[in-house]
Amino acid sequence: FPVTITTASWSGPTSGVYSKVITDANILATSIVDVIPDNSAYSVITTAQLRPRTDSAAGQVTIYATSIPSASFTCTLNIINT
């Protein structure tokens, strides 16, 4: 399902990388979460250098970028519960 990633509430940088937590009650401690940016966000995510790594925990997934995105963008979360 789609989720909007805003420019607010990014943490860091830690070791040159910013992070943002996305919350969703459907994410379990054992879930694998794919965060797929919409094609319309290409320039925003490439400028921010959105990283491919995600870290999941119960109720949330964390994404990473080299810089805070300059605008909000839409992503699809694919939640695979194992």
Tens of pLDDT, residue by residue over 7-66, are 999 999 999 999 999 999 999 999 999 999 999 999 999 999 999 999 999 999 999 999
**pTM for this one?**
0.93
| 31: exposed, middle or buried (Cβ count in 10 Å: 0-12, 13-18, 19+) | buried
One-letter amino acid of 65:
A
**Residue 82: predicted pLDDT:** 85
**Residue 46: predicted pLDDT:** 97
